[in-house]
Amino acid sequence: MNSSLERYTERVEQYASRFPRFPRFVDVTMVLALIGCAFFGTQLSLPGDNRPDTGKSLEVLLGLSCFVLLTYRTHTRTVVVVVAGVTIAAIARGYLLTPMLLAPLLAAMYWLAVLCDRRTVRLYALVATVALLTVNLFSDGMRDLSPVLTVVGPVFWMALPLVGGSLTRLRGDYLEAVKSRAEHAERTREEEARLRVTEERMRIARELHDVVAHHLALANAQAGTAAHLSRSNPEQSRKILDDLTGTTSAALRELKATLGLLRQDDRPEGEGLEPAPGLARLPELIDSYRSAGLEVVVHQQGVRRPLTPGVDLTAYRIVQEALTNVAKHAPERATRVGFTYADSRLLITVSNDGPATAGATADSGTSGGFGLRGMRERAQSIGGDLCAGPRPEGGFEVTTALPLQASAAVEGESP
């Protein structure tokens, strides 16, 4: 029954939204029906009783009070007062209190329960019911009925529109709450989607920066060294050029692998993509810089421990970017790379003996570089931190502390 009524109500609301004048048509139809009910109610009386002789004035007044219901949306309380006053006056003149006679008042009470707050509904309903019962107990039309029937009937009839209006209001509040939750969920999904797109774009940007900056800086250093040795040591120059070919080939492979991330939805998982690099490839990375003429010394303290994939990739990329900065700004200086395994963290230090401003000038946020910013973002994304700056004794140093085991949530978000 309730589902059928809800479907009917939804259809009426949809029809009303399509035709703006439909609600006014419904209101006019309701008023005409209430006029008919009120007029029929004035014709009823108990067996053996005569209808009160009031002429037609009170019946006309009842009909006019029904037209006041047309303003129930804007003057709900006034409508209740006017209709209740006319109805009580009719009962006081001796008309029999029946649901037909009460129809305009019941309609006014229904809309009061729908459109007004609970406190107002309780106040107006209590005053109208008490006034109605008081007049009804002393009315000539109810003198042959017992006081119980005189009280119970009107109270029951007055309660019906209040209950129906309250249910309608609750249903409207529920639908509004559902709509608000749906809109909030939609906004949340859109914001989350934008956030994920931004994060993914930052990951890809960091990967492209690391790959391009590393290989181009290395290729530039190898080409410069080869040009410098082309006359004095042609054999060494030829070897460096061979290494340069390997560097450019590696750059193309990593670029292909990184850009392939954008097409993962169109390909089987992992097809055509190289695994993410880690510290296992550190010797290969160090050799590539040594072939370009950069002196790199690696030392380790503590027992080496396994790293999660996110931490392993982050450590590799930070060392790679730090060596790239050294190759760009202080290629003739010695560089030291240190790994210290503590209880729960891995400390990585990359330092050189070049000028104190090397690396900082080119990669500071004020000059538009992204090297230091990218390294810091990588470290923070897995719960670590990174510091970079000039050394007191000269040169530049990058120090980062990474957790040995990143949490599952952070690991899933790490680049």
pTM over 0.85: no
Q: What is the DSSP letter of 143?
A: T
232: three-class secondary structure by DSSP: coil
What are the tens digits of pLDDT across the range 309-341? 888 888 888 888 888 888 777 766 788 999 999
d(C-alpha 397, C-alpha 98), whole Å: 95
Q: 10 Å Cβ neighbour count for 67?
A: 14
Most confident option among 7-21, 121-135, 182-196, 285-299 = 121-135
Q: What is the DSSP letter of 352?
A: E
Structure tokens at 393: 């004794």
Q: What is the DSSP letter of 266?
A: G
pLDDT at position 224 is 74
What are the tens digits of pLDDT across the range 207-237? 666 666 666 677 777 777 777 777 777 777 7
Residue 305 clears pLDDT 60, i.e. is over it: yes
Strand stretches in 195-334, DSSP E: 296-301
Which residue has 């492979």 as its token pair?
253
Tell me, letter by letter, the H, E, C secondary structure of 70-110.
Answer: HHCCCCHHHHHHHHHHHHHHHHHCCCCCCHHHHHHHHHHHH
pLDDT at position 272 is 45
d(C-alpha 20, C-alpha 337), whole Å: 76
- Tell me what the pLDDT averaged over the chain comes to: 77
pLDDT at position 358 is 47
Choice between 113 and 404, residue whose per-residue pLDDT is larger: 113
Which of these, 397, 396, 399, 389, lies nearest to 346 by C-alpha position?
A: 399
Minimum mean pLDDT range among 24-28, 356-360, 363-367: 363-367
388: three-class secondary structure by DSSP: strand
Q: 10 Å Cβ neighbour count for 316?
A: 20
Q: Which residues are registered as beta bridge partners of 335? A: 296, 352
What are the tens digits of pLDDT across the range 98-117? 888 889 999 999 999 999 98
d(C-alpha 121, C-alpha 34), whole Å: 22
Which of these, 137, 146, 136, lies nearest to 101 by C-alpha position?
A: 136
Structure tokens at 260: 């392939």
pLDDT at position 188 is 82
d(C-alpha 229, C-alpha 78), whole Å: 102
